[in-house]
Chains A and B, each alone.
Chain A
Amino acid sequence: MIRFENVGMRYGAGPEVLRDISFDLPQGSFRFLTGSSGAGKSSLLRLMYLAHSPSRGLINLFDKDLATLSRRELPPLRRKIGVVFQDFRLLEHLSAFDNVALPLRVAGAGESVIRKHVTELLVWVGLGDHLKAKPATLSGGQKQRVAIARAVITRPSLLLADEPTGNVDDAIAVRLLYLFEELNRMGATVVIATHNMPLIERFGHPVMRLVHGELTDNAPRGSRTKGR
């Protein structure tokens, strides 16, 4: 599913923010990605959701070596990946419905299919009464759920979330994690970047830990063997 081999990453001509990253994530696995601020969590996610190229090393995604792919081959690959951004990245001029519908429209889905699926999903995440609401009128938690709905509307094979519980209270954070587990049970590989240790302890999935750009912990262990 995902394989990193001695991957390094830098922004422009700056220093490496990730060094010698190597790991394997099989299909259907669930991982927490943790580390202090600036450790490189978001950078590692950027590599995984194909927003940035590695400066060295090999990345294999969905059995494809990224180094050998052309630009034309990337969009279909990106459509298999759902991303929940830390800052949501909702389009302010679109309603909750249209924000969630965006990946389906980009993929060329028909409007009748879009209406059915988007409405169902927004009802499922508890926003059935906010289909036409613009992001500016939604609370942080509601925006979070719209962002999550947009990330999962295409039933991605890989779901990546960058601090998805950072703007919500504990009760909603737990609900969101249950939602991610549900998607994981449906077959999606899930990677959640967070430094919410109580949440990590509570759900007990394996942890990938980054320290100063290096992966120091990447093995299912002890009580954290719940994930595959």
Chain B
Amino acid sequence: MKRGVPGVIGDPVGRFLPWIVAFLVYIATLALTGALAIQAAADSWRAGLSGTLTVELSPLVDESPDGMQLRLDQALNVIRGTAGVRSAEVLSSEAVQALLAPWLGPSLDIAALPLPRLIDIRLESDDFDTLALDSRLRAFIQGARVDDHAVWRDRLVRAMRGLQAIGLLVVGILLATAVVMVVFATRGSLAAQKDVVELLHLIGATDSYIAGQFQRHALRHALVGGGIGALAGALTILLLGLIAAKLEVAPLGGGLIDWPVWTALLLSPVAAGVLALWAARRTVLAALARMM
């Protein structure tokens, strides 16, 4: 609209639209943030686990500490002599105790328990032949086996992908709801201003001109509502980030405030505006097509 030129179409039924859009954008930004945070966490965990293996030596019946140490040394020799291994370290008793402390308590005496000993292996690359190492260890050292974390990692990734899909589905449903709301608001506005639309039609306004009058309102409402929703979303995400940091949920907390999240927040009012503009235009053009 030109500066100083009043709008031809009034907007009696569209005033509630910004608040509905704000609410939808707010929920959508949270759902999208959740999906992105899950993605970031999955990537982070996957990256953390890639290039590593764990060798597990189960205790044998009536085995002395020296016997276990001997098997550990033999295993280390086999592992360190394998091409593609960067380093191999036996996990210390203190480290094992620290791992188990959350479940079994800090005063646990692990020497009294028949726990397996673990060897942490760092690889030079991901295309390491795990099966060959596993076969060699099983052949030379009794009770040894290689764990490449694949089962645990795959389950975790599948679970996270599921959560991510749910988050994206919610975003999709909210977008569809926003379109439906704009369509209903535009239809209401059209019905309320049937006489104005007919007058414009009769003085020679093109369908595109008339649709432009309505889509201008829809765009303004969606930008305002989207802005409010995105701002509320940003504040909520910051708060969640602080809580996550305090709870030391590092991967999730980090994912909450990554740049994709802020990009999504910045783009959400624009996306809401474009969507509203499109929905309003289609609605008006469809209605006008029924006129002569």
A-B contact count (CB 8 A): 57
- Bound-state CA distance A106–B199 (Å) is 11
The dominant DSSP class at the B interface is: loop
A26 within 8 A of B: no
A51 within 8 A of B: yes
Cβ–Cβ contact B200 & A106, under 8 A? yes
Interfacial chain A residues near B2, Cβ < 8 Å: 111
Interface string of A79-118 (1 = CB under 8 A from B): 1010100000101011100100011011100010000000
Cβ–Cβ contact B203 & A79, under 8 A? yes
Cβ-closest chain A residue relative to B292: A53
Given contacts A51-B292, A102-B8, contact A71 B205 (CB under 8 A): no
Interface string of A35-62 (1 = CB under 8 A from B): 0000000000000011111000000000
A224 within 8 A of B: no
| CB under 8 Å from chain A, chain B span 183-211 | 195-196, 198-207, 209
Interfacial chain B residues near A49, Cβ < 8 Å: 202
A195 within 8 A of B: no
Interfacial chain B residues near A150, Cβ < 8 Å: 203
Tell me how many residues of A have a C-beta within 8 Å of chain B. Answer: 28
Cβ–Cβ contact A74 & B292, under 8 A? yes
A12 to chain B, nearest CB (A): 13
A10 within 8 A of B: no
Interfacial chain A residues near B6, Cβ < 8 Å: 93-95, 98
- Bound-state CA distance A51–B201 (Å) is 8
Cβ–Cβ contact B196 & A103, under 8 A? no
- Bound-state CA distance A111–B8 (Å) is 15
A19 within 8 A of B: no
Given contacts A50-B292, A52-B292, A111-B2, contact A75 B205 (CB under 8 A): yes
Interface string of B116-146 (1 = CB under 8 A from A): 0000000000000000000000000000000
Cβ–Cβ contact A79 & B204, under 8 A? yes
Interfacial chain A residues near B195, Cβ < 8 Å: 89
- Bound-state CA distance A78–B201 (Å) is 8
B-binding residues in A (CB < 8 A): 49-53, 71-72, 74-79, 81, 83, 89, 91, 93-95, 98, 102-103, 105-107, 111, 150
A-B CB proximity, top 5 nearest:
A79-B204, A78-B204, A106-B205, A103-B203, A75-B204
